[in-house]
Structure 1
């Protein structure tokens, strides 16, 4: 979910493409530029096909999913009688759109998170209904849905998109965490705009994502500036300018990363061969991880692990079947006292054992606060508050350990995490590494 492991075959294919081709800036008519333009068109077509997009959609290339979300935030026609509705359990890039809404005096409304992340269906409907566009509130309103939480592992109900649309909202989907391991059809679940990052899906290339949007929606957006590539003519000096003829190019600032566009087409082809099987395999791995970790106990019988994220209600049994959650696990390692083991120490241990995991709040403050039960403390935050200040207010370290399963995850990976975890119950083993950690970090006067 943070970044997929890139397949060797994809790197080899792309390396061969680069070695036998000369590509140039797409904003030209030279032979090398036309090759890049053809690669861009093929990539756009492959993306629309991969997500089963009906006619009326186009693809805007961005630096990543955050760049796609920023495009919407800066261009959406917010007004004093507009609403921006989003879930508390969203990525910071979705939260960040509220800055653009606030600058134009639009109303920002949150759907509160449940203790396990995501939101209750009836609460979401109520918030959407109360803030819906009306005759008195005629400004354009936006509903941003996080398809899958990157910290709570919750898959939010896609029906909320259709419900919001029926109330008059424009709809935006953050699909960055969903699409690496689950299929998505824009024909079955239409949305006005959807943000993705390709490196989260198949690992390579980094530095490029996409905004997949209805052309009718893009024509209603107001870009606050123009740049090279997004215009065809500019009066200088003066104020007149004409935007690029192709709609998607009006939103692509400067030169797109043309050297890697063919890798997107190849990557989608690669992923499409595995995606039907991913939920079945990853469901088995996730259930194994949860079962084994929850059976790990200290010698006194106290639990080693506290699982915080949402777990699937059932196993995936067939190829093509989808899971009702994602395939990540957010949890805390506990001492016999019940206090959590410091996250920095866990990262240190994992690095020593060549295990890649992540700690912290995963750029998702609302979801993490829900899992950690500190939502009420959010009201105490001020613009200058740092994480250490917030932890001092709460009285404990904030964050979780996250294990993410994806395209390249194997049973051996899951097994190694379990074996690593079981060694944590050995006090002597733990203390030896603790002393090494203090020495390596130069930390003095702390005790486990």
Structure 2
């Protein structure tokens, strides 16, 4: 027999369901700012009065601060775009405060709208104080968000107070786990404003969710898989399934700054449109936001592809941590997310948010515990689970961590409206400051920014940015040569700056902004990264700085101070000598 929870009998002796209802912490019961669907809030009706009171308090405080800064914003608009660019890096010397404080005050004069996000400063003090205690500057949110400390406390308190069992049973502990899983599913659907035709399949991460679609999609000869060159390797990997089944692969080229050109993409989609959706279906995968080029792609491409008969898949892993996304407004067939990238905890849990009609068309090549009701052994008869989502959740779901998904979504929903405005200010400040940074020996530029820059500056809470909140760049020597990324990463670690270097598992996006598409064409079977780097004559990849939920001005300032150390000949040479010594030790250790 199978092991699906849908086949559990109801027991007249089991504890009544209502007696094991999960009690939420008041901390999270009070947090919500509008991330709801037509089916109701992820908060539940029992907290509506508390929520309304808290939101009213926040709204009153917000209006007061907004009035205080309206005149500053008006003055900024009169000054024009050049004002903040010239103010960003050079604080006046007559200020008596220490360097950091003086820079912050000058930053506020250039970016008065930043003060509208004061609630995130409170969050930084209450939930991310460990950053200051450890002296760490964390700017790798695209790699993984930092968990809020209150989320961990709430979750561990719940685990300490309750007994959770495997969902594939009828015991009280199992029923509580099943209830928490159901609650997590509803929370995800509510957060993304999903209409009733959607369901949620829990996976290990976004990559696992993409693999589910790839392995089960009915690719066939005459069909095709259309995707952007600027996509994560997990999106590229689906092409293996498509090729194996005879479908064509069609790449939409990336622009020099990443992402795709919308008219060009529509032409590709039209040229390769499905001839027969039944016998030769076509899948279009869109990257919502690139994890290396900072480009956001137009979500209108999903609607256009759907109108041509494509099935549509959205990689939203990099998009949704800092952007509001609604499945009611963009009804994609399937989208994938990882929760640790949204609010830091738990790792090991992602989701495929998918239309039930699309899920029903997928053909899984195998089954496992939890997927089935009946299995004939020996034989070849199998009856799949009655619930569609269970057919795609292999084995036992991560039931101990699913309760944290609900709390994490509640947490993020309270702060997400403020996040784009804050990150816009930080991104404009840091990019303009880094661009002006010069070597002390000859005045040559220290960095070259390769990723897409925003076309507009956000000024109010609730606006959505036209690109992400990452900066991909390379550091340059005084002679203009690229400084090795491995040295930059070493130097950053010495300054307690957590950033990332490399191609970010996005070879197409990296090739676009590094202008090595022609070199990419020269690759051959069995080529290694060292071979490729030898061919181009330098290390491949970029230095990536990415902001997120807990980012503040001090993070941007410390990154700038780190970059300034590379701009100074003496400090750079000292770091270079230390780096070479470390490399020599590593080589000796490897030889031994």
**Aligned-partner Cα distance in 1 for 2:586–2:276:** 64
1:110 to 251, 257, 270: 251
Residue deviations 1:342-371 (CA, integer Å, cap 9, x gap): 111111111111111000000000000000
Map 1:49-64 onto structure 2 (within 5 A): 49-64=190-205
**Divergent runs of 4+, >6 A:** none
Which residue pairs with 2:541 in the alignment? 399
1:322 aligns with 2:464: yes
Query: What TM-score, normalized to structure 2?
Result: 0.74
**Aligned-partner Cα distance in 2 for 1:14–1:137:** 46
Deviation at 1:99, TM superposition (A): 0.2
Which residue pairs with 2:515 in the alignment? 373
**Aligned-partner Cα distance in 2 for 1:136–1:283:** 42
Which residue pairs with 2:378 in the alignment? 237
- Residues 227 and 251 in structure 2, CA contact (< 8 A), matched pair in contact too: yes
Which residue pairs with 2:300 in the alignment? 159
Map 1:46-445 onto structure 2 (within 5 A): 46-135=187-276, 138-299=279-440, 300-442=442-584
Deviation at 1:136, TM superposition (A): 10
- Residues 336 and 351 in structure 2, CA contact (< 8 A), matched pair in contact too: yes
**Aligned-partner Cα distance in 2 for 1:22–1:443:** 50
Deviation at 1:437, TM superposition (A): 1.1
Deviation at 1:396, TM superposition (A): 2.2
Deviation at 1:340, TM superposition (A): 1.0
- Residues 220 and 279 in structure 2, CA contact (< 8 A), matched pair in contact too: no
The 3-state SS of whatever aligns with 1:34 is helix
- Residues 372 and 383 in structure 2, CA contact (< 8 A), matched pair in contact too: yes
1:9 aligns with 2:150: yes
- Residues 117 and 371 in structure 1, CA contact (< 8 A), matched pair in contact too: yes
**Aligned-partner Cα distance in 2 for 1:3–1:12:** 20
- Residues 202 and 350 in structure 2, CA contact (< 8 A), matched pair in contact too: yes
**Aligned-partner Cα distance in 2 for 1:443–1:388:** 20
Deviation at 1:137, TM superposition (A): 9.4
Report the number of matched residues. Answer: 445
**Aligned-partner Cα distance in 2 for 1:361–1:201:** 21
**Aligned-partner Cα distance in 2 for 1:383–1:356:** 34
Deviation at 1:188, TM superposition (A): 0.4
Deviation at 1:44, TM superposition (A): 0.4
Deviation at 1:151, TM superposition (A): 0.2
Is the alpha carbon distance of 1:188 and 1:136 closer, same or farther for their aligned partners in structure 2, counting shifts above 3 Å? closer
Residue deviations 1:67-112 (CA, integer Å, cap 9, x gap): 0000000000000011100000000000000000000010000000
The 3-state SS of whatever aligns with 2:218 is coil
**Aligned-partner Cα distance in 1 for 2:511–2:434:** 23
- Residues 145 and 174 in structure 1, CA contact (< 8 A), matched pair in contact too: yes
**Aligned-partner Cα distance in 1 for 2:323–2:314:** 14
**Aligned-partner Cα distance in 2 for 1:140–1:181:** 33
The 3-state SS of whatever aligns with 2:577 is helix
Larger Rg: 2
Residue deviations 1:264-295 (CA, integer Å, cap 9, x gap): 00000000000000000110011111011011
| Unaligned stretches of 5+ residues in structure 1 | none
- Residues 119 and 156 in structure 1, CA contact (< 8 A), matched pair in contact too: yes
Which residue pairs with 2:30 in the alignment? none
Which residue pairs with 1:34 in the alignment? 175
Deviation at 1:443, TM superposition (A): 6.7
**Aligned-partner Cα distance in 1 for 2:293–2:146:** 22
Is the alpha carbon distance of 1:377 and 1:443 closer, same or farther for their aligned partners in structure 2, counting shifts above 3 Å? farther
Instruction: Give the CA RMSD over aligned residues.
Output: 1.3
Query: What TM-score, normalized to structure 1?
Result: 0.98
Which residue pairs with 1:24 in the alignment? 165
